[in-house]
Amino acid sequence: MLKTISLRLPKFKLEIYSIIILITVGCKEPKKETITIAAAANMQYAIEEISNAFTKQTGVSCELVISSSGKLTAQIIEGAPYDIFVSANMKYPNEIYENKLAIEAPKVYAHGQLVLWSMDKELVPSLEILTDSRVVHIAIANPRTAPYGQSAVEVLNKNNIYDAVADKLVYGESISQTNQFIISKSSEIGFTSMSVVLSKKIKDKGRWIPIDKKEYTPIEQGVVLIKREIQDSTNSRKFYEFLFSKDAREILEDFGYLVAE
């Protein structure tokens, strides 16, 4: 059962929480065993399925906070009460670890894949078409806080077209907002995660192509257990271990993630 609830954390900076989506997965009443998972926006659909499977198996409910990895890191450093951080790269989990806010060193749970996606029926997605006059806006996630945005910029630079399309770039605060730019057609085309276009809610909408993995640095997505002084980490560790289980790996693979055995 999914239930959307509002986030009320008045002691943290409001600007940090500007684009949070909070979802309760497997919610039970009265609320008993619950863990809070901060997850990168590219994982939104996959983490919902993984959390549902985890709750079904263990009875432990999960609250999901979805945002860009950079914003979630800032929130954790500010003291946000999250138990686990499921990031879109290893840089931010390592930052949490270096700030002594993690129980142990982070670990890679999957590799993400970048795609180019368009809802415009007149466009066939390709890197070459980005310089075409028909493309006025290209959506990418903010490269300062979103790893998939960083990868998109890397692709544009490697193909020597960044300067030619720089004025066309429209930055979403996260992959979630970037997707909205593409879905609403306010951007004719954009870069997103393969996990998005393979999700049940998005699948078969528009056209997309995978970006050759040689065009960008491998997107190593990491997870880390957050140190909570006043809370038992038993259930958090259960989820952490479940993320590396066969069941979770199969879900990740269904969403286009590359998962090592």
Exposed / middle / buried, residue 121 (Cβ in 10 Å: 0-12, 13-18, 19+): exposed
Q: Which CATH architecture has domain 2-111+218-254?
A: 3-Layer(aba) Sandwich (3.40)
Nearest Cα to 2, choosing from 22, 32, 31, 30? 22
> What's the CA gap between 178 and 143, in Å, rounded?
12
Query: Rounded to the nearest 10 degrees, how much is the dihedral formed by the CA atoms of 157, 172, 255, 223?
Result: 90
Range 183-198 average pLDDT: 97
Whether pLDDT at 22 is above 60: no
Q: Which residue has the tokens 């415009």?
A: 120
Q: Is residue 108 a contact partner of residue 252, using CB atoms and an 8 Å limit?
A: no
pLDDT at 11: 44
pLDDT at 32: 55
pLDDT above 70 covers what percent of the chain? 87
pLDDT digits (tens, 9 = 90+) for 29-81: 444 589 999 999 999 999 999 999 999 999 999 999 999 999 999 999 999 99
Whether pLDDT at 7 is above 60: no
> Which residue ranges does the chain devote to CATH 3.40.190.10?
2-111+218-254, 113-215
Half-sphere exposure of 195 (CA within 13 A, CB side): 28
Whether pLDDT at 133 is above 80: yes
pLDDT at 261: 58
pLDDT at 33: 85
pLDDT digits (tens, 9 = 90+) for 139-153: 999 999 999 999 999
Q: Pairing between strand 169-172 and 114-118? A: unpaired
Tally Cβ neighbours within 10 Å of residue 23: 20
Q: Which amino acid belongs to residue 175?
A: I
pLDDT category of residue 156 using cuts at 50, 70 and 90? very high
Mean pLDDT for the chain overall: 89
Range from 10-14, 62-66, 190-194 carrying the lowest mean pLDDT: 10-14
Whether pLDDT at 228 is above 90: no
Pick the CATH number of 113-215 from 3.40.190.10, 3.40.309.10, 3.40.50.2300, 3.40.50.300: 3.40.190.10
pLDDT at 232: 76
Q: In what order do the strands lie in the sheet with 2-4?
A: 2-4, 21-25, 61-67, 34-40, 84-86, 219-225, 107-112
Range from 150-154, 190-194, 257-261 carrying the lowest mean pLDDT: 257-261
- Helix H, strand E, coil C: the string for 109-161 is EEEECEEEEECCCCCCCCCHHHHCCCCCCEEEECCCCCHHHHHHHHHHHHCCC
